[in-house]
Amino acid sequence: METKELAAAIEAILFAAGYPIEIIKLMETLGCEKDQFEDAIGILGEKYGVDSGVRLIYLDGKYQLCTSEKQLDRVREALGIRRGGNLSRASLEVLAVIAYNQPTTRSFIEQVRGVDCTYTVSSLLEKGLIEVCGKLDAPGRPSLYKTSSDFLRVFGLSSVHDLPPFEVYDENGQVTVKPL
């Protein structure tokens, strides 16, 4: 398959899906090699550049087509989509604990925060910002949580490795707290 044809096929799949598709799945489906795939993605990257109403984004080994930030308000207005509500401080704290310690359990989150977080975890699951990724091999088999592809997209990250470094201990091994 020629590079332009491969780019068109990738574009069609990403457009139809509406959610991030793994690179490996795209390559297997289209029967292409990594270098061919990268050339085709390069074509799409140029096509959906800065001035486009659509963006090609990379999310932790996956690609997705989405609306550019510049056009987001127009799309919402045209389609009657309400703007998502802001996240509460508790939600942001729980997201931070999960993002930096994933996969993790609700009891660990509660231990870090010092309060019950059942509602907050449920709310983040409902919003699609976190997901269950398994069960801990411990009594009660508690669920393990991790951030989702939507978390990466919402916060403008390609992977959790793009999070800013989080250092909580000083050179003496003591927990450090910086005032806001």
Start and end residues for every CATH 1.10.10.10 domain found in the chain: 3-79, 89-162
pLDDT at 168: 62
For residue 164, is the peptide bond before it cis, meaning its omega torsion is within 30 degrees of 0? no
Q: Which fold has domain 89-162?
A: Arc Repressor Mutant, subunit A (1.10.10)
pLDDT at 17: 92
- From CA 99, how far away is CA 63, in angstroms rounded? 20
Decide if domain 3-79 falls under CATH 1.10.10.10: yes
pLDDT at 179: 47
- Over the chain (180 residues), what is each successive 10-residue block's mean pLDDT? 94 93 96 95 92 89 90 84 78 92 92 91 92 91 92 86 74 55
3-state secondary structure labels for all residues of the chain: CCHHHHHHHHHHHHHHHCCCEEHHHHHHHHCCCHHHHHHHHHHHHHHCCCCCCEEEEECCCEEEEEECHHHHHHHHHHHCCCCCCCCCHHHHHHHHHHHHHCCEEHHHHHHHHCCCCHHHHHHHHHHCCEEEEEECCCCCCCEEEEECHHHHHHCCCCCHHHCCCCCCECCCCCECCCCC
pLDDT at 180: 42
- From CA 125, how far away is CA 91, in angstroms rounded? 11
pTM: predicted TM-score of the whole model, two decimal places: 0.64
